[in-house]
Amino acid sequence: MVNTSPQNPTPTNSPSYIPPLESGDRLTRPEFERRYNAMPNLKKAELIEGVVHVASPLRFEPHAEPHGNLMGWLWSYKVATPGVRLGDNPTVRLDLDNEPQPDAILLINAACGGLSYLGNDGYVEGSPELVAEVAASSATKDLYDKKRAYRRNGIQEYIVWQVFESTVSWFSLQNGEYVALTPNASGIIQSQVFPGLWLDVSALVTDNMQQVLAVLQKGLNSVEHQNFVQQLSNTVS
């Protein structure tokens, strides 16, 4: 590994010294951002309930490949749904104690009535309608601390793909609580927020992406999706 640290690092007792981010640090969001911005080689760090989580290097099969498949499914929906936007690993400013960097977010454009928007510096502010995480080693964090933060901040749908368990948990915010959506008789979960966003869970966890996209296409051909697209076009401000 190439050493990318400066040859003359700033002394720790210097007023300009900025400590590095380390997992377990308890920080305010402004301090978290200050340290993160001072580490340009760091690819992913999150502030969850006031605690810093720095991501480990990602392996291909437990994370990178599932992440790619998840993004392919969401991207196909986004392309067919004007007014919907998709983000890959964006920083999201939720509240003073939470600044996650989800694997994927799907949101309704603010101009179409969405709940989130882009701040002056380009970061997502507020609560995207849907957040998705690929959970391997991060499963505990994703299903407890992160889930609690997402629920409290009004993320309407939260998907956690637990790769090692070959399961997908899809939560819908109902009356302030997350309720797990269950597959129908055909093994398909249908989004409650994004009409036409259909998922064949078994096909996804077995890497049968042709089936995943075939089921999604049925959702995109549904009357509900057509009405949603029309609704979004009617609400552009």
Whether residue 2 has pLDDT greater than 90: no
Residue 138 pLDDT: 56
DSSP 8-state class, residue 57: P
pLDDT confidence of residue 139: 59
Q: What is the mean pLDDT of residues 54-59?
A: 82
pLDDT on residue 236 = 66
Smallest Cα–Cα separation from 93: which of 29, 165, 36?
29
pLDDT digits (tens, 9 = 90+) for 27-43: 989 999 999 999 988 88
Q: Give the domain 60-234 fold.
A: tt1808, chain A (3.90.1570)
User: From CA 93, how far away is CA 84, in angstroms rounded?
Assistant: 19
Which pLDDT tens digit goes with each residue over 184-231? 999 999 999 999 999 999 999 999 999 999 999 999 999 999 999 999
pLDDT at 5: 44
Please state, rounded to an integer, the average pLDDT across all residues of the chain.
Answer: 90
Q: Which pLDDT tens digit goes with each residue over 62-101?
A: 889 999 999 999 999 999 999 999 999 999 999 999 999 9
Question: pLDDT-derived band of residue 235, with 50, 70 and 90 as boundaries?
Answer: confident
Least confident of 4-18, 54-68, 69-83, 132-146: 4-18
